[in-house]
Amino acid sequence: MNAVWAARQASVERVVRLSVIGAAHDAPTRSGRLHALSDRELQASGMRWTILRPCWFMQNLLNEADDIAAQGAFSLNAGDGRLGMVDVRDIAQFAARVLTDEPERHDGKTYTLTGPRSLTFADVAHGLTRILGKPVAYLPVSDETQRTTLVDYAVPPWIADMIIEYSQAYAAGWGDAVSGDFLDVVGHPPRDVEDFLGDHAAAFS
Protein backbone atom coordinates (compact mmCIF):
# COMPACT_ATOMS: atom_id res chain seq x y z
CA MET A 1 0.00 0.00 0.00
CA ASN A 2 2.93 2.32 0.69
CA ALA A 3 4.30 1.52 -2.77
CA VAL A 4 0.96 2.44 -4.35
CA TRP A 5 0.88 5.69 -2.37
CA ALA A 6 4.46 6.53 -3.42
CA ALA A 7 3.67 5.77 -7.07
CA ARG A 8 0.67 8.07 -6.98
CA GLN A 9 2.74 10.83 -5.34
CA ALA A 10 5.33 10.43 -8.12
CA SER A 11 2.63 10.83 -10.81
CA VAL A 12 3.01 7.24 -12.02
CA GLU A 13 0.25 6.57 -14.53
CA ARG A 14 0.18 2.79 -14.67
CA VAL A 15 0.93 -0.11 -12.31
CA VAL A 16 1.13 -3.84 -13.06
CA ARG A 17 0.86 -5.62 -9.73
CA LEU A 18 1.90 -9.18 -8.87
CA SER A 19 -0.77 -10.58 -6.56
CA VAL A 20 -1.66 -14.23 -5.83
CA ILE A 21 -4.22 -16.66 -7.17
CA GLY A 22 -7.55 -16.46 -5.41
CA ALA A 23 -6.81 -13.22 -3.55
CA ALA A 24 -10.06 -12.32 -1.80
CA HIS A 25 -11.42 -11.15 1.52
CA ASP A 26 -12.47 -14.74 2.26
CA ALA A 27 -9.33 -16.49 0.95
CA PRO A 28 -8.24 -19.49 3.07
CA THR A 29 -4.81 -17.94 3.72
CA ARG A 30 -3.78 -14.75 5.43
CA SER A 31 -1.49 -13.99 2.50
CA GLY A 32 -4.42 -14.22 0.10
CA ARG A 33 -6.50 -11.90 2.26
CA LEU A 34 -3.66 -9.38 2.58
CA HIS A 35 -3.05 -9.45 -1.18
CA ALA A 36 -6.76 -8.72 -1.68
CA LEU A 37 -6.40 -5.59 0.47
CA SER A 38 -3.45 -4.41 -1.62
CA ASP A 39 -5.31 -5.21 -4.84
CA ARG A 40 -8.21 -3.04 -3.70
CA GLU A 41 -5.82 -0.25 -2.70
CA LEU A 42 -4.44 -0.22 -6.25
CA GLN A 43 -7.89 -0.40 -7.83
CA ALA A 44 -8.97 2.67 -5.85
CA SER A 45 -5.76 4.61 -6.51
CA GLY A 46 -6.86 6.50 -9.59
CA MET A 47 -3.95 5.09 -11.61
CA ARG A 48 -4.29 2.67 -14.50
CA TRP A 49 -3.83 -0.84 -13.18
CA THR A 50 -3.52 -4.48 -14.15
CA ILE A 51 -3.33 -7.29 -11.58
CA LEU A 52 -1.57 -10.63 -12.16
CA ARG A 53 -2.60 -13.53 -9.94
CA PRO A 54 -0.29 -16.51 -10.48
CA CYS A 55 -0.64 -19.97 -9.01
CA TRP A 56 2.11 -21.90 -7.20
CA PHE A 57 5.55 -21.29 -8.70
CA MET A 58 7.30 -24.26 -10.32
CA GLN A 59 10.55 -22.77 -9.01
CA ASN A 60 9.38 -23.66 -5.49
CA LEU A 61 10.27 -27.24 -6.42
CA LEU A 62 13.94 -26.22 -6.30
CA ASN A 63 13.53 -26.00 -2.52
CA GLU A 64 13.21 -29.80 -2.61
CA ALA A 65 16.14 -30.39 -4.97
CA ASP A 66 18.67 -31.42 -2.31
CA ASP A 67 16.34 -34.06 -0.85
CA ILE A 68 15.44 -35.35 -4.31
CA ALA A 69 19.10 -35.62 -5.31
CA ALA A 70 20.20 -37.26 -2.06
CA GLN A 71 17.19 -39.41 -1.14
CA GLY A 72 15.07 -39.74 -4.29
CA ALA A 73 12.10 -38.30 -2.41
CA PHE A 74 10.57 -35.05 -1.21
CA SER A 75 7.96 -34.25 1.41
CA LEU A 76 5.26 -31.59 1.62
CA ASN A 77 2.01 -31.23 3.54
CA ALA A 78 -0.13 -30.67 0.43
CA GLY A 79 -1.70 -34.14 0.41
CA ASP A 80 -3.15 -35.07 -2.98
CA GLY A 81 -4.06 -31.50 -3.87
CA ARG A 82 -3.85 -30.48 -7.50
CA LEU A 83 -2.21 -27.20 -8.55
CA GLY A 84 -2.04 -25.28 -11.82
CA MET A 85 1.61 -24.53 -11.05
CA VAL A 86 3.29 -21.91 -13.24
CA ASP A 87 6.88 -21.16 -14.26
CA VAL A 88 8.00 -17.73 -13.06
CA ARG A 89 9.66 -17.19 -16.44
CA ASP A 90 6.17 -17.19 -17.92
CA ILE A 91 4.97 -14.72 -15.30
CA ALA A 92 7.84 -12.40 -16.29
CA GLN A 93 7.06 -12.79 -20.00
CA PHE A 94 3.38 -12.10 -19.36
CA ALA A 95 4.13 -8.98 -17.29
CA ALA A 96 6.51 -7.70 -19.99
CA ARG A 97 3.81 -8.17 -22.62
CA VAL A 98 1.26 -6.30 -20.52
CA LEU A 99 3.71 -3.44 -19.94
CA THR A 100 4.64 -3.11 -23.62
CA ASP A 101 1.18 -3.60 -25.16
CA GLU A 102 -1.19 -0.72 -25.66
CA PRO A 103 -2.37 0.10 -22.11
CA GLU A 104 -6.04 0.07 -23.09
CA ARG A 105 -5.87 -3.65 -23.80
CA HIS A 106 -5.10 -4.50 -20.18
CA ASP A 107 -6.40 -1.57 -18.12
CA GLY A 108 -8.62 -2.65 -15.23
CA LYS A 109 -8.09 -6.36 -15.86
CA THR A 110 -7.12 -9.11 -13.47
CA TYR A 111 -5.38 -12.14 -14.99
CA THR A 112 -4.94 -15.59 -13.49
CA LEU A 113 -1.67 -17.26 -14.48
CA THR A 114 -1.25 -21.03 -14.39
CA GLY A 115 0.53 -23.74 -16.27
CA PRO A 116 -1.25 -25.78 -18.96
CA ARG A 117 -2.51 -28.48 -16.57
CA SER A 118 -3.32 -29.09 -12.94
CA LEU A 119 -0.97 -31.52 -11.19
CA THR A 120 -0.43 -33.30 -7.91
CA PHE A 121 3.02 -33.53 -6.38
CA ALA A 122 2.87 -37.26 -7.13
CA ASP A 123 2.60 -36.26 -10.82
CA VAL A 124 5.71 -34.12 -10.35
CA ALA A 125 7.53 -37.10 -8.81
CA HIS A 126 6.56 -39.27 -11.80
CA GLY A 127 7.88 -36.58 -14.14
CA LEU A 128 11.16 -36.44 -12.25
CA THR A 129 11.41 -40.23 -12.39
CA ARG A 130 11.18 -40.15 -16.18
CA ILE A 131 13.54 -37.21 -16.64
CA LEU A 132 16.21 -38.32 -14.16
CA GLY A 133 15.99 -42.01 -14.98
CA LYS A 134 15.73 -42.98 -11.31
CA PRO A 135 12.82 -43.40 -8.90
CA VAL A 136 11.57 -40.23 -7.21
CA ALA A 137 8.75 -40.33 -4.65
CA TYR A 138 6.49 -37.71 -3.14
CA LEU A 139 5.84 -38.37 0.55
CA PRO A 140 2.93 -36.39 2.06
CA VAL A 141 3.57 -35.35 5.66
CA SER A 142 1.54 -33.75 8.42
CA ASP A 143 1.29 -30.01 8.94
CA GLU A 144 3.29 -30.23 12.15
CA THR A 145 6.07 -32.26 10.54
CA GLN A 146 6.33 -29.74 7.72
CA ARG A 147 6.34 -26.81 10.13
CA THR A 148 9.14 -28.41 12.18
CA THR A 149 11.18 -28.93 9.01
CA LEU A 150 10.74 -25.31 7.95
CA VAL A 151 11.67 -23.93 11.36
CA ASP A 152 14.71 -26.24 11.49
CA TYR A 153 15.83 -24.59 8.24
CA ALA A 154 15.62 -21.21 10.01
CA VAL A 155 12.42 -20.13 8.26
CA PRO A 156 10.80 -17.49 10.52
CA PRO A 157 7.78 -18.98 12.32
CA TRP A 158 5.29 -16.54 10.78
CA ILE A 159 6.47 -17.45 7.27
CA ALA A 160 6.35 -21.14 8.17
CA ASP A 161 2.75 -20.67 9.30
CA MET A 162 1.91 -18.92 6.02
CA ILE A 163 3.44 -21.77 3.99
CA ILE A 164 1.51 -24.32 6.05
CA GLU A 165 -1.73 -22.41 5.40
CA TYR A 166 -1.11 -22.45 1.67
CA SER A 167 -0.42 -26.18 1.65
CA GLN A 168 -3.59 -26.82 3.65
CA ALA A 169 -5.55 -24.82 1.10
CA TYR A 170 -3.94 -26.65 -1.81
CA ALA A 171 -4.66 -30.01 -0.17
CA ALA A 172 -8.32 -28.96 -0.06
CA GLY A 173 -8.34 -28.22 -3.80
CA TRP A 174 -7.91 -24.43 -3.68
CA GLY A 175 -5.15 -24.38 -6.33
CA ASP A 176 -6.85 -26.75 -8.77
CA ALA A 177 -7.22 -24.29 -11.66
CA VAL A 178 -6.10 -23.91 -15.25
CA SER A 179 -6.43 -20.53 -16.94
CA GLY A 180 -6.19 -19.58 -20.60
CA ASP A 181 -5.07 -16.02 -19.83
CA PHE A 182 -1.40 -16.65 -20.71
CA LEU A 183 -2.24 -18.13 -24.11
CA ASP A 184 -4.74 -15.35 -24.86
CA VAL A 185 -2.26 -12.54 -24.13
CA VAL A 186 1.13 -13.99 -25.12
CA GLY A 187 -0.05 -16.15 -28.02
CA HIS A 188 1.46 -19.50 -27.07
CA PRO A 189 0.89 -21.96 -24.19
CA PRO A 190 2.75 -21.59 -20.90
CA ARG A 191 5.53 -23.99 -19.99
CA ASP A 192 4.54 -27.42 -18.73
CA VAL A 193 6.11 -28.76 -15.55
CA GLU A 194 7.99 -31.31 -17.68
CA ASP A 195 9.67 -28.38 -19.46
CA PHE A 196 10.67 -26.89 -16.12
CA LEU A 197 11.98 -30.19 -14.76
CA GLY A 198 13.98 -30.85 -17.92
CA ASP A 199 15.52 -27.38 -17.82
CA HIS A 200 16.55 -27.87 -14.19
CA ALA A 201 17.40 -31.58 -14.22
CA ALA A 202 20.94 -30.92 -13.01
CA ALA A 203 19.63 -29.33 -9.80
CA PHE A 204 17.56 -32.43 -9.00
CA SER A 205 20.33 -34.91 -9.76
Q: Are 173 and 81 in contact (CB under 8 A)?
A: yes
Residue 1 located in a structural domain:
no
CA dihedral sign of residues 137, 29, 118, 186: negative
Q: Is residue 192 part of a domain?
A: yes
Confidence of residue 182 (pLDDT cuts 50, 70, 90): very high
DSSP calls for 166-189: HHHHHHTTTT----SHHHHHHSSP
Domain boundaries, position 196: 15-204
Element (H, E) at 202: helix 201-204
How many Å is the Cα radius of gyration of the chain? 18
Q: What is the pTM of this model?
A: 0.94
pLDDT score for 103: 84
Does any domain span residue 5?
Answer: no
Tell me how far apart the alpha carbons of residues 111 and 166 are, in angstroms, rounded to a whole number.
20
Q: The domain spanning residue 51 has which CATH number?
A: 3.40.50.720
Helix (H, G, I), strand (E, B) or coil at 159: helix
Residue 1 has pLDDT above 90, yes or no: no
* Number of separate domains in the chain: 1
